[in-house]
């Protein structure tokens, strides 16, 4: 929501934390508007091994069994360029990347 560089909190699912070799939330810096697309761009720039695991590398389309939550809302079907909630942009709430619950 703001043009200044913001530090965004991102919560990854366990498998992606292992892949990225991180524990707990990660923090990424986003310049310009804080959107799902800009957060994921910053996340993949910091952790290139995550490219393709959350969204398609070419089209940017969310993988079918990945969900995006924040502030108790399901943002999975929002436009990638829609602004994220102010609480996420301000770092008060994390942006949650969730592996959909399914068996196997």
Partner 1 sequence: MSGVRVLVGTRKGAFVLNSDGTREQWDVSGPHFPGWEIYHVKGSPADPDRLYASQSSGWFGQLIQRSDDGGATWEPVGNDFSYQGETGTHQWYDGTPHPWEFARVWHLEPSPDDPDTVYAGVEDAGLFRSTDGGKNWQELPGLRGHKTGPSWQPGAGGMCLHTIILDPSAPGRIFTAISAAGAFRSDDAGETWRPVNRGLRSEGIPDPDAEVGHCVHRLAMHPSRPSVLYMQKHWDVMRSDDAGESWREVSGDLPTDFGFPIDVHAHEPDTVYVVPITSDSHHFPPEGKLRVYRSRTGGDEWEPLTTGLPQEHCYVNVLRDAMAVDFLDSCGIYFGTTGGQVYGSADAGDSWAPIVRDLPAVLSVEVQTLS
With binding defined as CB under 8 A, does residue 63 bind partner 1? yes
3-state helix, strand, coil in the chain (%, to 5): 25, 25, 50
Which of 8, 34, 54, 75 is close enough to bind partner 1 by CB under 8 A? 54
Q: How far is CA 25 from the centre of its chain?
A: 11
Q: Which stretch binds partner 1 (CB under 8 A): 15-23, 29-37, 76-84, 85-93?
A: 15-23
Q: Which stretch binds partner 1 (CB under 8 A): 3-11, 36-44, 70-78, 96-104?
A: 96-104
Tokens 């709430």, residue?
Answer: 93
Is 25 strand, coil or helix?
coil
With binding defined as CB under 8 A, does residue 77 bind partner 1? no
With binding defined as CB under 8 A, does residue 1 bind partner 1? no
Task: Indicate if the alpha-carbon torsion angle 49, 52, 53, 55 is positive or negative.
Answer: positive
Residues that contact partner 1, how many (by CB under 8 A): 18
d(CA 79, CA 93): 20
Residue numbers at the binding site for partner 1 (CB under 8 A) = 13, 15-16, 19, 49, 51-54, 57-58, 63, 65-66, 99-100, 102, 104
């Amino acid at each position: 929501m703001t043009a200044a560089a913001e530090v965004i909190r991102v919560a990854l699912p366990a498998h992606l934390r292992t892949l990225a070799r991180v524990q707990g939330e990660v923090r990424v810096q986003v310049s310009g508007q804080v959107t799902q697309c800009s957060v994921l761009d910053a996340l993949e720039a910091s952790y290139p091994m995550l490219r393709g695991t959350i969204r398609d590398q070419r089209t940017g389309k969310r993988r079918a069994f990945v969900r995006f939550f924040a502030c108790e809302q399901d943002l999975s079907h929002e436009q990638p360029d829609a602004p994220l909630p102010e609480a996420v942009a301000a770092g008060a709430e994390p942006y949650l990347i969730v592996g959909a619950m399914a068996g196997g």
